[in-house]
Amino acid sequence: MSDKPKIGISIGDVNGIGLEIILKTLSDSRIYDYCTPIVYGHTKVASFHRRATHISEFNFNVADHPANALHRKPNMINCWEEDVRIDMGQVTADGGKYALISLQRATDDLLAGHIDGLVTAPINKDNIQSEEFSFPGHTEYLQHRDSKQESLMFLVSDTLRVGVVTGHIPVSKIAESITTDKIIHKLKLMNTSLQEDFWIRKPKIAVLGLNPHASDNGLIGNEEKETIVPAIEEARNNDVLAFGPYSADGFFANGTYLQFDAVLAMYHDQGLIPFKQIAFETGVNYTAGLSFVRTSPDHGTAYDIAGKNLASEISFREALFTAIHVIKHRKETAELNENPLVFAKLSRDRD
């Protein structure tokens, strides 16, 4: 049992669907064959959501530290003592406050090595803002906590993997934020993640253009010729099998994405709109390039259905299993590389 990874789970906005999809996922006893889940929140808040979703015969083991978590039970670390007002489906200051407390406590344990990975339930990017959280989203916060200059927002599913060069920035700033060096760095992060996290030995990566029709040879902008093509060429010189740039609309419409292991989009909506259209229920948001493993479902707080027992847990469950698989792949990769065989050329004059 000690070989099973301990997966920390932050609860997200207490007025959204986060705890509903967590409870529905952890109600399946088969989960405990693969991991030990540890939820960071409070049992009183969880009980409110359990009643709202009509989940019976479900109880958390309360642990004061991940080391005391039970392997065959859902575990809860109570991160505060006061009562919390729940206003289902509403955007409130408390929703952001307790989402941040949960995320901070889980990240602290993650960085300390007390848990092996983190799955984050959806937050509201507005009400979570504070002196302690001044970031566009989870990705940027966790990159900062991990002291990394860059990371990759990587949406993954069984049929499609999409990363983005620019993430949560205004559309007006996209073009000026895209540089050859940045594209190269994102391609390297993606290539490394595909090899080490997803065990794809020789990944083929498609790169999308920025402009409509990938500029039509310079008729609609110069970014492809001046920025994107040089990045692709440099990446290929560094053993990254990158191809493109492709026109985004036709690339997804005619199924060209099925010929590649991953796709690098230039900006958020260019990549995430087709990804969510193709793989919404099974899609997972994975943050590549960090020293630890973090995943999340590829949807938001869904205030409109919060507390109505309508939320699907499929994406969250996929996020949990993706974290488990990546942790396993990283561990096995490290073991395989610990004592590699010495490479030697065979002589033509062997006996």
Which residues 6+ apart lie within 8 Å of 200 measured at CB? 194, 261
> Residue 216: what pLDDT?
82
**Pair (7, 136) in one structural domain:** yes
Quote the pLDDT of residue 351. Answer: 44
Task: Find all residues with CB under 8 Å of 40, minimum gap 6, and list them.
Answer: 8, 9, 10, 11, 76, 77, 79, 102, 103, 105, 106, 109
pTM of the model: 0.90
State the CATH number of the domain containing residue 162.
3.40.718.10
Token pair in block for residue 33: 């064959």
- Mapped onto helix, strand or coil, the DSSP state of residue 241 is strand
Burial of 230 (0-12, 13-18, 19+ CB in 10 A): middle
- In the chain, the N- to C-terminal Cα span, in Å, equals 49
**138 plus 219 within the same structural domain:** no
Segment holding 109, helix H or strand E: helix 93-111
- 105 and 209 both lie in a single domain: no
Distance CA 25, CA 320 (A): 9
Are 15 and 71 in a shared domain? yes
Same domain, 159 and 131: no
Quick one: pLDDT at residue 218? 82
Structural domain boundaries, residue 54: 1-148+290-297+324-331
Q: Pick out the chain residues at pLDDT < 50.
A: 1, 350-351
Indicate whether 244 and 184 sit together in one domain: yes
Are 271 and 218 part of one and the same domain?
Answer: yes
Q: Tell me the pLDDT of the chain averaged across its residues.
A: 93
Q: Is 150 helix (H, G, I), strand (E, B) or coil?
A: coil
- Residue 107 CA, chain-centre distance (Å), reads 14
Give residue 3's pLDDT: 82
Number of domains in the chain: 2
CA distance 62 to 70: 9
**343 found inside a domain:** no
Tally of CB atoms within 10 A around 63:
17
Q: Do 38 and 157 lie in a common domain?
A: no
CA–CA dist 28, 32 (Å, integer): 8
Which pLDDT value is given to residue 1? 43
195-250 pLDDT per residue, tens: 999 999 999 999 999 999 988 888 888 999 999 999 999 999 999 999 999 999 99
Q: Does residue 348 sit within a domain?
A: no
Question: Which uninterrupted H or E stretch holds 85?
Answer: none
Instruction: Report helix angle 93-111 to 138-145, nearest 10.
Output: 40
Residues 181 and 101 in one domain: no
Give the tens place of pLDDT for each residue, 152-189: 999 999 999 999 999 889 999 999 999 999 999 999 99
**Quick one: 143 exposed, middle or buried, by C-beta within 10 A (0-12, 13-18, 19+)?**
buried
Strands (E), 79-213: 117-120, 152-156, 161-164, 204-208
- Give yes or no: residues 72 and 134 share one domain: yes
